[in-house]
Chain A
Amino acid sequence: MSLPPSFSRDVSALPTHALSYRSLTWWGIIGFMVIEGSAFVLTFAAYFFLMSQEQEWAPRPWDPPGLVAGTIFTVVLLLSEIPNTMIKKAAEGYDVAAVRRLLPGMVGIGLLLFVIRGFEFNSLNVLWNDNAYGSIIWALLFLHTTHVVTDWIDTVVLWRLMKTAHGEEPRRIVDTDENSLYWRFVWLTWLPVYVLIYWVPRFFR
């Protein structure tokens, strides 16, 4: 420093972690949500751009995707918010025991979602290389699947970490809280994707 210091603020009593917008990593996660959210919105724009090339959507002779797997996925995904909120509340209350108890449930739900997602890919009634309609339908489902996979891996890592002595470190509570926040992003982005994959091709036949 070029100038001698004059001590004016003592910050030693400040906490070493904080939740929500007071946390640094919260801002990082919001940043990545905005990036990924932008990618989703642009993919939706591409969807409607390609849709404008067709007289009907889904273009004949392709049938719209089968509804069963996608709808079951949607229901399970929405229900997963119940344990997700329980984990988030437990984290906010520093209840590590409850977090440790509930996280394996979210890992299991993720595995169940992968199985249903497999059936979804199988019920699209079009391949990615059939035409532009098939390409964009597959792109939407693939894009969303990458988000389910990344959050599932994140949840597994967090679950294993919370089982260690580090689980009692308050900053790991922040990690748990923010992992739950990201899961909300995963299911929120699914809702428009679900409508675009399964319902718009029915509305415009």
Chain B
Amino acid sequence: MSPIRARLDVREFAAVLLRGTLLAAFLSAAAVAPAALGEPPNTIRIDVKDFMFAPTSMTVKAGATVTWTNMDQEPHTLKSSDGLFRSGALDTGDSFSFKFDKPGTYQYVCTIHPRMVGTVVVE
């Protein structure tokens, strides 16, 4: 075997080794899925049930996504007092998600049943 051929073999071998490592890492990451399918990681759930937000006040870390799901037979909406977010009408089973990037206290209301008030505190 000539010396040149030996060097090519080593490089080829290294490339295969690298690809294999990356593939293994990818597969192991996909196998460990912390959030439910379709949801971004770090999702917090609020149920809209019996004309109330459950829980009424929720504290989350900045960067978290909150997902509201309407469990009532009546539609509800979500509108933040400061205009930051506004869902359309959520029918039974519909969800709405919002990612809270900045710390603060965010009050929101259902525009169809405005006695329903909730708060998200972002730390």
| A and B pair up | no
Which residues of B are in contact with A by a Cβ distance under 8 Å? Answer: none
